[in-house]
Amino acid sequence: MAIGLHTDFALLPPGGLPHPLSKRAITALGGLRRRDCTGSDMLGWLCLPDQPESLLDEIEAEARRISALCDLVVVVGVGGSSLGAQAALDFVASPYYNQLTKTRPQVLFSGDHIDGDTLCDLLTLSAERRLGICLVSKSGTTVEPSLTFRALEHHLFTRYGPDAARRILCICGDGPLSDYTRHKGYTRFAIPEDVGGRYSTLSPAGLVPMALCGLDIRGALKGAKAARQAYLDPEGALTLPARYAALRQLLADQGRPVEVMAMFSPALGAFGNWLQQLFAESEGKNGGGILPLPAAYTADLHALGQFVQQGNPIVFETMLTLSRARYDCRVAPGGGFDGLNALVGQPLDDLCRLAVEAVARAHSEAGVPVLHISAPGRDAEVFGWLVMFFQMSCAVGALMAGINPFDQPGVEDYKAHMRRLFGGLI
Amino acid sequence: MAIGLHTDFALLPPGGLPHPLSKRAITALGGLRRRDCTGSDMLGWLCLPDQPESLLDEIEAEARRISALCDLVVVVGVGGSSLGAQAALDFVASPYYNQLTKTRPQVLFSGDHIDGDTLCDLLTLSAERRLGICLVSKSGTTVEPSLTFRALEHHLFTRYGPDAARRILCICGDGPLSDYTRHKGYTRFAIPEDVGGRYSTLSPAGLVPMALCGLDIRGALKGAKAARQAYLDPEGALTLPARYAALRQLLADQGRPVEVMAMFSPALGAFGNWLQQLFAESEGKNGGGILPLPAAYTADLHALGQFVQQGNPIVFETMLTLSRARYDCRVAPGGGFDGLNALVGQPLDDLCRLAVEAVARAHSEAGVPVLHISAPGRDAEVFGWLVMFFQMSCAVGALMAGINPFDQPGVEDYKAHMRRLFGGLI
């Protein structure tokens, strides 16, 4: 298995990537390989493919236990503690997982807002279901998930008494939440201390929700391991994630600070949100960074498309596509008002491929640089591979820009203001 | 009722908005009022609040009939034919509408992609439900909704025989689809010819799906009418939508071509997507326009927030908030691991207000200009008001830039390539 990175569209200057950019990318990748780059104390994500079998067994056993007990699990988390699992669910299962599932609980993601009305609606619908909670919070002190967790936990204990404890899973780092779970007798899985939130998808933060939905967590780790081997091991080579990082930097240097990340399937929509968080929070520092704008194609061609084609030329485009369909779905017969009768019986997969080509042609003819990353298909192994690919590429890009890819000092500013303002309430 | 537009945060140069900008905005607004601006043949959206009672009665009657017949309706549409209704459903009802509804059918939006796997999953789940279809397509020839409609229509007729016709609603302009509906005996509602897709939310394109969900369509039109009166009637005044347009232009002129549209409730998430389409497709022409980037706050403060705070200074921020909560939701008691015990019993609404202030302070201290639009609450009337406000502001902004707000010539480029490539299949 491998993913492809194409730059078909007159993107590169004659002679290919400029030598200094390639060299910086290779140097940054070397820093990851030797574990001596900036932020090297937070490289635990590179080891996640090696998590012990015993841990995976335990995760799967807990997931089976909760599945038998609950028909709805609310996964409570925000940012990196939520987006990876959402991406996995849509990618590996389906955007319609909740409508289709028979043997596993439905899953709703919440805990990422401060909105009482939305929380009340969640409590109302939860009251009608055999409910479970899966709290994902590295620090255990983030305001948004805490507010939702409190409400749901209170609801569960009011309803089930002490038995409620069996319905609660916590995934967290060391600290007060970890102590609390021990005290209450909740099942707890650890997020390793050297893994940051947005690099934690392949830790229990993502694996536990994935297992709840019956997804193949071993496959995901296998894919990530293969990607690490393919991209990190070859010393001194400009492997794909480094090449992608260098291309992005080249385009930003050419005056295009915004990357439209075009996902060519609804199953990739949540993956786009995960990518946005990964890149924005890793790179957006010191007045720099490329602004990631996820888009759902072809839907957003009827929205953003006009801007990309003819608007302010500040964007370049990276398309993510899947080259293998899961089902054989063909154009259905119909009345022909739409002018598509000649296509009846054609695989939608083929039409999608042509749409990708049409977009690439139209946009590159308008001078918009188009990158194209294609992944084989939608299984857990490909998902793990892509997660590792993008995490490595993101880290390389930040390191090339002289930035620590693993901190987020700017997020602290609003949190500090909020704590101060909350203090005034008391 | 009124909405507020605040620019508290050291945004304006001394003396307020520069006179030439104000003047251009007032001139553009005058063009809308007199119906003599560029694109004046597409100003039908200004008349939508005056749609006759008889039409609304008919829409509501059809919605009741379909509700009795179906427990799932798939709304098939893309771009302007879909995003407005999605926004209305989350805003006026709830992001959890499908989980909460008892008396009205669940609603899924589709027809906005070319992805066979997603379509197959939709067919699988549809087969288990009493299904209805609501096709929304002004032209009737757009590829994405046509592919989905064909599949669902074929499924319905295979399953129900001729009786399937009763389960299909079509909302479209004049043309082949309109003829087809007559031929098949489907209920049809018209999108007026002088209303473009992205300005059609208050036409039957949005009203029919809203009515299916039991939303107050008369309230929405009432709010829109009040907004039109407040903002369009005063001759020569810089009313709020014109002021917002001028402020956006000022910020773009200051080197900030990206607008982060920060929605402070999950109920506003789909509204953000509607805004993105409205502005990107109206303004992104002739190498200009402000790139609209919708964000779900506070969730995205754990994602984009880092970039806004410390990244490439190409963005300004517009926050959309609600000043009145629907329910009295308060911080629940809990174990206190999160450090929030002192807040137990506080209304979440108050915490949200403080979070808004914290974000505004943190970002404006970092030099990011912050606009703040506050709407009273979440009912149909406010929704209609906001739709009219933003449509007017968007039109004024495009007219100020010398652009036709109502066409989308750039979208044609990829469509032309796609038609040519599809032709090669036959």
Segment B366-393 shows an average pLDDT of 94
pLDDT at residue A9, rounded to an integer: 37
Closest CA–CA distance from residue A325 to any residue of chain B (Å):
7
pLDDT less than 50: residues of chain A: 8-11
Asked if A372 is an active-site residue, the reply is no
User: What's chain B's average pLDDT?
Assistant: 94
Nearest alpha carbon to residue A136 among A200, A220, A185, A211: A200
- Hey, which residues of B are catalytic here? 281, 302, 415
Cα separation, A281 vs A292, in Å, equals: 10
> Do A358 and B421 make contact, defined as CB atoms within 8 angstroms?
yes
Strand boundaries in A16-125, DSSP class E: 72-76, 106-110
Which of A146, A358, A414 comes nearest B417 by C-beta? Answer: A358
pLDDT at residue B9, rounded to an integer: 37
Closest CA–CA distance from residue B234 to any residue of chain A (Å):
32
* B189 touches B155 (CB < 8 A): no
Chain segment B15-25, per-residue pLDDT in tens: 567 789 999 99
Burial of B190 (C-beta count, 10 Å sphere; 0-12/13-18/19+): middle
> Do B338 and A141 make contact, defined as CB atoms within 8 angstroms?
yes
Count CB-CB contacts under 10 A for residue A410. 22
Lay out the sheet containing A131-137: strands in order across: A106-110, A72-76, A131-137, A168-172, A187-190
Residue B298 preceded by cis peptide, ω within 30: yes
Burial of A36 (C-beta count, 10 Å sphere; 0-12/13-18/19+): exposed
Alpha-carbon torsion angle B89, B92, B98, B103, nearest 10: -110
pLDDT of B405 above 50: yes
Q: Using a CB-CB distance cutoff of 8 angstroms, which residues of chain B are in contact with residue A176?
A: 337-339
Among B residues 150-169, those touching chain A with beta carbons less than 8 Å apart: 150-151, 153-154
Burial of B426 (C-beta count, 10 Å sphere; 0-12/13-18/19+): exposed
- Greatest Cα pair distance, chain B, in angstroms, is 70
> Do A337 and B283 make contact, defined as CB atoms within 8 angstroms?
no
Strand boundaries in B49-155, DSSP class E: 72-76, 106-110, 131-137
| Identity of the residue numbered A230 | A
Is A305 an 8 Å CB contact of chain B? yes
Nearest alpha carbon to residue A46 among A55, A36, A60, A57: A36
Among A residues 363-422, those touching chain B with beta carbons less than 8 Å apart: 363, 365-366, 378, 408-411, 413-418, 420-422
Nearest alpha carbon to residue B284 among A295, A304, A262: A304
pLDDT at residue B426, rounded to an integer: 73
Asked if A102 is an active-site residue, the reply is no
Q: State which fold the B4-35+221-403 domain adopts.
A: Rossmann fold (3.40.50)
Give the tokens for residue B369: 């200009």
Fill in the DSSP letter of residue A9: S
Closest CA–CA distance from residue B98 to any residue of chain A (Å):
10
Those residues with Cβ within 8 angstroms of residue A281's Cβ, 6 or more apart along the chain or in another chain: A79, A80, A198, A408, A411, B302, B303, B305, B306, B307
Q: Is B86 helix (H, G, I), strand (E, B) or coil?
A: helix
Nearest alpha carbon to residue B284 among A302, A387, A69, A184: A302
Dihedral (CA of B343, B346, B351, B353) sign: negative
> Do A117 and B363 make contact, defined as CB atoms within 8 angstroms?
no
Domain A44-215 in the same topology as domain A4-35+221-403: yes
> Do A313 and B425 make contact, defined as CB atoms within 8 angstroms?
no
pLDDT at residue A65, rounded to an integer: 98
Nearest alpha carbon to residue B394 among B231, B235, B237, B262: B231
Chain segment B30-50, per-residue pLDDT in tens: 999 999 999 999 999 999 999
Catalytic annotation, pick one of A281, A283, A317, A381 = A281
> Do A351 and B326 make contact, defined as CB atoms within 8 angstroms?
no
> Do A151 and B302 make contact, defined as CB atoms within 8 angstroms?
no
Those residues with Cβ within 8 angstroms of residue A335's Cβ, 6 or more apart along the chain or in another chain: B153, B180, B183, B184
Cα separation, A97 vs A77, in Å, equals: 19
> Do B140 and A337 make contact, defined as CB atoms within 8 angstroms?
yes
Give the pLDDT band of residue B8 (cuts 50, 70, 90). very low
For strand B72-76 and strand B4-6, is the pairing parallel, antiparallel, or unpaired? unpaired
Chain segment B323-338, per-residue pLDDT in tens: 889 999 999 998 789 9
Chain segment A207-264, per-residue pLDDT in tens: 999 999 999 999 999 999 999 999 999 999 999 999 999 999 999 999 999 999 999 9
Fill in the DSSP letter of residue B370: E
Task: Provide the b/e sequence for B96-117 (b: ≥16 CB within 10 Å).
Answer: bbbbbbeebbbbbbbbbbbbbb
Residue-range domain boundaries for chain A: 4-35+221-403, 44-215
For strand A370-375 and strand A4-6, is the pairing parallel, antiparallel, or unpaired? antiparallel
Q: Rounded to 5 degrees, what are φ and ψ at A31?
A: -60, -40
Closest CA–CA distance from residue B281 to any residue of chain A (Å):
5
Q: Using a CB-CB distance cutoff of 8 angstroms, which residues of chain A are in contact with residue B83?
A: 303
pLDDT at residue A71, rounded to an integer: 97
Question: DSSP of A235-269, one letter per residue?
Answer: TT---HHHHHHHHHHHHHHTT--EEEEEESSGGGH
Place of tokens 């007045």: A287
Options 3.20.20.70, 3.40.50.10490, 3.30.70.1400, 1.10.287.180; CATH for B44-215 is 3.40.50.10490
| Identity of the residue numbered A306 | Q
pLDDT at residue A413, rounded to an integer: 87
Among B residues 238-257, those touching chain A with beta carbons less than 8 Å apart: 257
| Identity of the residue numbered B58 | E
ipTM value of the model? 0.96
Which of A183, A304, A357 comes nearest B276 by C-beta? Answer: A304
Residue B142 preceded by cis peptide, ω within 30: no
> Do A116 and B332 make contact, defined as CB atoms within 8 angstroms?
no
Q: How many CB pairs under 8 A join A and B?
A: 443
| Identity of the residue numbered B323 | S
pLDDT at residue A8, rounded to an integer: 47
Among A residues 345-374, those touching chain B with beta carbons less than 8 Å apart: 346-352, 354-355, 357-359, 361-363, 365-366
> Do A408 and B121 make contact, defined as CB atoms within 8 angstroms?
no
pTM: 0.96
Q: Using a CB-CB distance cutoff of 8 angstroms, which residues of chain A are in contact with residue B416?
A: 362
pLDDT at residue A292, rounded to an integer: 97
Which of A115, A265, A283 comes nearest B266 by C-beta? Answer: A115
